[in-house]
Chains A and B, each alone.
Chain A
């Protein structure tokens, strides 16, 4: 991955351009399954044959993008699990709000990833690693909060993190992605209440 290697740099640039094209197409409501390589390549300003120099096919492009999408999603969670011990319900509400808004912006790509994970082994592995890393981050947040006294001591960090990750991963896909602005606000409030009352209420 040395940026000085001209071929890798070109490859990187092509991936970035294809990602932009893909995001635009998905935002317009095109389904990934209906996208033609021909069209993707043309919109990214490369030829069909150059596309196949770098990728075996459309799934291969998704594998490449999976890593980036995953790093992005993990990154947006940080504001929550780095909240200071004195944080209030409003602070949690704001942090989860940023996370859900960022998720919504990424949602079309995450959707393609989830869909591809159902039939492609490598994308599936990448997706499962996203779930595992989120779970791990929440578990560490719970342990940290227990040590520093702002999360209830009786909570089992391991299994509670598993359930909260299940709620966030499936719930954001089902409840946040398709929400109208009014629904978004109510669903965000409900999510904040669940997380707040489960972890912090009575302690923080």
Chain B
């Protein structure tokens, strides 16, 4: 819920509310600093970087960094919140599908999710890999993944009650496999590859697992 509020705050920022402006600057800055450090994240050196090195690479001052972030962990949190806020609206389009939805509706919803996530894919992949070495990142990754699993499980349960999702499926466990599948596969896609055929396979797997032959 806190994320939904933050998401709305980001939108409100476009209408010029000061607190929201700060949130927007904070998320943009987090992305800028982490992008500049992406090669260090990829090679597992991120944990060793000082704030001095991080800010120098990103071309901002140390004092500006501390206006917006407490430390590196806080920077990571800001980046995750920003990506989460951006993709949340796209995710909601999936959760809104009900018994009247067709496979094309599902494809449209998943296309929205994959395309919204696309600009962050390379950096997020590096950040996820880095979770093996950094407790702070691991905590954020777990939080986002758990939230995704919970949302999908909720959708599965609602669909089972209404009769458009297969009743024999275990909601949480099925949601967990599908969520990790989406995480891993999107992160492994080459950045310049056309995602359309992959969205087709993703749609096909989700459609047949959840909605085709609901009983």
Q: Is the CB of A162 within 8 A of B204?
A: no
User: Which A residues touch B130, using CB under 8 A?
Assistant: 118
Bound state CA distance, A193 and B174, in angstroms? Answer: 8
Q: Is the interface of A mostly helix, strand, loop or mixed?
A: helix
Residues of B within 8 A of A (CB): 43-44, 129-130, 132-133, 166, 168-170, 173-174, 176-178, 180-181, 183-185, 188, 197-198, 200-202, 204-205, 208-209, 212-213
Residues of A152-204 whose CB lies within 8 A of B: 152, 154-156, 158-160, 162-167, 169-171, 174-175, 186-187, 189-191, 193-194, 197-198, 201-202
Counting residue pairs across A and B whose Cβ atoms lie within 8 Å, the total is: 105
Min CB gap B142→A, angstroms: 10
Q: Is the CB of A162 within 8 A of B198?
A: yes
Partner of B44, one of A119, A131, A164, A191: A119
| Minimum CB distance partner of B133 in chain A | A118
Q: Is the CB of A170 within 8 A of B169?
A: no
Q: Is A20 at the interface (CB under 8 A from chain B)?
A: no
| Minimum CB distance partner of A157 in chain B | B201
Known A-B contacts: A156-B197, A162-B185. Give 17 more (CB < 8 A): A118-B44, A118-B130, A162-B188, A162-B201, A166-B185, A167-B178, A167-B184, A171-B180, A174-B180, A175-B177, A190-B170, A190-B174, A190-B177, A193-B166, A194-B174, A194-B178, A197-B208
Q: Is A115 at the interface (CB under 8 A from chain B)?
A: yes
Partner of B200, one of A114, A159, A166, A201: A159
Q: Is the interface of B mostly helix, strand, loop or mixed?
A: helix
Residues of A within 8 A of B (CB): 114-115, 118-119, 131, 152, 154-156, 158-160, 162-167, 169-171, 174-175, 186-187, 189-191, 193-194, 197-198, 201-202
User: Which B residues touch A201, using CB under 8 A?
Assistant: 208, 212-213
Q: Is the CB of B166 within 8 A of A166?
A: no
| Minimum CB distance partner of A175 in chain B | B176
